[in-house]
Amino acid sequence: MLRVGDLQRSIDFYTKSMGMQLLRTTDRPEQKYSLAFVGYEDESQQAVIELTYNYGVSGYELGTAYGHIALGVDDIHGLCARVRAAGGIVSREAGPVKGGTTIIAFVQDPDGYKIELIEHA
């Protein structure tokens, strides 16, 4: 689960830039939060990301315990180009991991969460 400052902005990033699907949303006005679940496939098939917007909170400190999430992708160069074209940040261009041959890249979502992209072999 990631806490986000603008739910629609985050949904747009994960669906339009990252190519995920919006699987479902839930609004809980009594509890003052909204949820959106995004993923490449339904959660019965793969893990998904839960985005949580707490009413009235526009940003969070990411903390020192959080590192990044990692996602396997088919076309790492194309995905980096889509993120960049949508105004997103590619903080590490696609290339081999140090000391290896696996191709990785890093991007950031609108709230500053780091996402490692790992190209499927």
Same domain, 77 and 106: yes
Q: Which CATH number belongs to the domain containing residue 87 in this structure?
A: 3.30.720.110
Domain that holds residue 112: 69-119
Same domain, 43 and 73: no
- Whether residue 49 is contained in a domain is answered as yes
Same domain, 75 and 47: no
Output the pTM of the full model.
0.86
Residue in the structure block whose two tokens are 């939060």: 33
Q: CB of 2 within 8 A of CB of 111?
A: yes
30, 43, 93, 116: which is the annotated catalytic residue?
116
Same domain, 112 and 77: yes
- Any catalytic annotation for residue 116? yes
For 54-109, give the DSSP string. ETT-------SS---EEEEES-HHHHHHHHHHTT-EEEEEEEEPTTS--EEEEEE-
Cα separation, 26 vs 118, whole angstroms: 30
Per-residue pLDDT of 17-48, as tens digits, reads: 999 999 999 999 999 999 999 999 998 999 99
Q: How many domains does one find in the chain?
A: 2
Q: Which CATH number belongs to the domain containing residue 41 in this structure?
A: 3.10.180.10
Per-residue pLDDT of 50-101, as tens digits, reads: 999 999 999 998 888 789 999 999 999 999 999 999 999 999 999 999 999 9
Give the pLDDT mean for 107-111: 95
Q: What is the pLDDT of residue 64?
A: 80
Cα separation, 20 vs 40, whole angstroms: 5
